[in-house]
Every structure is written in C-alpha cells, then in structure tokens.
Amino acid sequence: MRALLWRDLRLAVRAGGGFGLSLAFFLIVCTLVPFGVGAGGGQLSRIAPGILWVGALLACLLSLDRIFALDHEDGSLDLLATAPLPLEGVVAIKALAHWLVTGLPLVVFSPLLGVLLHLPDAAQIWLVLSLLIGTPALSMLGAFGAAITVGLRRGGLLMSLLVLPLYVPTLIFGAEMVRRGAIGLDVTTPLVFLAGITLATLALVPFAAAAALRVNLR
C-alpha cells in the first residue's frame, strides 16, 4: 500500500496534476471574484466563505480524471485488480494520493486567499478546519466518479456531471461552517454534518468505486 501511494504521488506530479495546478486555479478564482463583484471589503467578506469553498471544490475537480486514467492506459489497473491488495484498498490509496496532492495544499494555503477576500480573522480557523474535514470527501467521491467513467472517451465531462451533485452537501455545510464562524455563531451543527458526510463517504464509497471498476474491467 505504501509503494502504491508513493507511486501515485510521483505520477501525479510528473503528469502535471500536482498541487501547483490546483493552487493556481484556486488563486485565479479568488482573484477574479473581486473584479466581478467589486472590491468592497464588506461585500467580499459576506460572500468569501462560499467563494472559497466553490474554488476549492472546482480545484479538486480538475485532476479527478487522472486518478485511474493513467493506470488504465498503461494496463496497470488490470494488474492492480488481480493483486493481493483488495480493489477497495486500491481506491482508498488513490483517493488519499489525490487528496495529498490536491486537497491538502488547498487547506494549507486557504488562509492567504481568505485574507485576499477579506474573510474575518475569526473565521480563518474554521475555514482551515472545514477544508481539512471536507476535502477528503471530495477526493473520495471524485474517485467514485473516476471509477465509473474509466475507459470512456471524453469521460471527463460525464464525470463532472456525476460528481458535482454529490459534492453539494459537502459544499453547503463547509461554507455554512465558515459563515457561522465569521459572524460568531455556533458552528457545531454544520461541523457535525460535515464530519458525518466525510466519514460516511470514506466508509462506503471505496466499495462502490471498486464495484464500478470491476464492471468496467470485464
């Protein structure tokens, strides 16, 4: 499992799907928003939680098609399917590699972009915490979408259409957690729901994604 994780991390960086691409997209989104809605601090502060979470969601979406596509193209996926490691474990490792390359850098650099959008200081810790809890679910759900569309020509658009509706609950509770933190309200409810969604996703989605891979590899 460790060897597979290191292999996926190296492939992600070499193939151009590393954290630089996701961070660049995240930065572009957060930079363009003030030009579109105005640079007033009060207005930006109100919409900052939603913009930051939408930017993180779309940044995670950029490299989802690479989770299984490269392995499918060179035949490695067929070997992994017959390896002693269960296919569910393969899905979990690949989702973890995607999160380490894409989601974790977004968590680390999100406070800087929060400052750019005039996010209140009180909400910075909740922004980091919400992304830390929520982005693993984005990677795992993305692995499910990638497993369904693996091997399909131009499957990236179909995968986006499949995955985006699944992202909505995480987006809602993640942004709500930051919004409540910004205005000093209790964040327990969105925090519990966000953590519950992530835990349920991590527990159930590997089995669904592995089943989809088995069907596509027949």
pLDDT given at position 152: 74
pLDDT given at position 201: 96
Residues 139 and 102 sit within 8 Å (Cβ to Cβ): yes
pLDDT given at position 9: 74
Each of the 218 residues of the chain gets a pLDDT tens digit; together they read 677 777 777 766 665 555 577 888 888 888 888 787 766 657 788 888 999 999 999 888 887 877 887 777 777 777 777 777 888 888 999 899 889 888 898 999 899 888 888 888 889 999 999 999 999 999 999 999 988 888 776 666 788 888 999 999 999 999 999 999 999 899 999 999 999 999 999 999 999 999 988 887 77
CA dist 218 and 214 (Å) reads 6
pLDDT given at position 78: 73
What's the whole-model pTM score? 0.89
pLDDT given at position 10: 75
